Amino acid sequence: MTKTSLICGSLATDTIMQFPGRFGESLLADQLHKVNVSFLVPTMRTEFGGCSGNIAYSLKMLGGDPRIVGVMGQDSAAYLERLQKLGISTANILIKADSYNAQCFVTADADNNQINAFHPGAMSFAHENPIANAGPAKVAIISPDGDQGMLKHAADLAELGIPFMFDPGQQLPRFNGDQLIDFINKATYVSANDYEMEMLMERTGLTLPEIASRLDALIVTRGEKGSEIYTDGKRIDIPVVAAKEVLDPTGCGDAYRAGLLFGITNDLGWETSGRLASLLGAIKIATQGAQNHVFTPESIAEQFEAAFGYRY
C-alpha cells in the first residue's frame, strides 16, 4: 500500500524586515486615522514558506513521501527548484502565470511587534487544482489555503475515499458553522491549536467531546503546555519537548503536523505519533525560518529515544 501523503495548502514566500526602533515612537495615538509612515529596515531576508511547503519539508526529511497539491504564480521558479532539489514532487503544483505566489511581508520592531501584509495571490485558485490528479495516497491533509479550494478538496477527498486531516489554521474564520461541521463530518482527523479549538466549538455549537466522537482522532495543541489527542473515547496527553533555543515559532505547527502524518502512514500509534510531532516542533523552534531546520531519520530516532526512552 502507498505511503504517500497528499499535502494540500499554501505555498508562499515570506519577506521579513527588521526595524531597529519601535513602532510606537513613529505612530501618534491621536493621528491614527491618517497614518503615513515609513520605516527604515536595514536588514531583510526572504524565506520559503506556506503550510504545504513547510509540512512537506519536514515530512520528506523524516523519510515520508509528501506530494504537494498547491498553486503558485509567475515567480515560482526558485521555490520549484528548491522543492525538486529536496526530492519533493512538484507534479501537482498548478502554475497561474497571471498571478504571483502568495506572499507575506513582515516588518518587526525592536520589541518583536509586527506589521504584516499578506497577498494571497495564486493561492486563491486552489479550487482549480484537482485532487484526483495526484493519484492514490494513504492520507491527506487540508491545511490553510484558498477557502474555495479547501471546500473542494474536502469534497473530492471524501468522494475518493482518501482519509484526510482538516487543519483550518488561520483560515478558520473564513467558514461558517455549517461549513465547519461538514468539514468535520468528512474528515478522519482534525488538528487545531487551543485558540482555534475554542473558535471551532463556538462556530459549530459542538463540544470538544462531540467533535471528537465524529473523528478517528482530534488533536489539540497547547504550545508550551504540550498537546492532547482524543481518540477512541480517551485522551492521550503528549508532553512538550524542551527546545535547545526558542528563536522562531514560525512553522512549528507545520512541523508538528508532519510528525502526525508520518505516524499515520507508518502505523506508529497515536502516542508515538504525537510525541514525534512534539519533537519536530521543538527542533523547528530553535531555527529561524520555517524551512531551515535540518535532521535525518537516524538523528530523529536518536533524539526521540533520548526524549522518551524508546525508539519508534
* Active-site residue, 254 included: yes
- In 48-205, which residue ranges form alpha helices assigned H by DSSP? 51-62, 77-85, 147-160, 177-186, 194-204
How far is the CA of 302 from the CAs of 279, 308, 309, in angstroms? Answer: 11, 10, 10
CB 133 within 8 A of CB 156: no
CB 187 within 8 A of CB 200: no
Reported as half-sphere exposure (CB side, CA atoms, 13 A), residue 39 has a value of: 22
Closest CA to 154 of 128, 185, 124, 176: 185
Cell representation of residue 244:
535547545
d(CA 183, CA 176): 11
Q: Where does residue 82 rank: exposed (0-12), middle (13-18), buried (19+ CB within 10 A)?
A: middle
Q: Which of 156, 216, 254, 267 is catalytic?
A: 254
Closest CA to 187 of 213, 159, 158: 158
Q: Name residue 282's amino acid.
A: A
d(CA 300, CA 55): 16
What is the set of active-site residues? Answer: 254
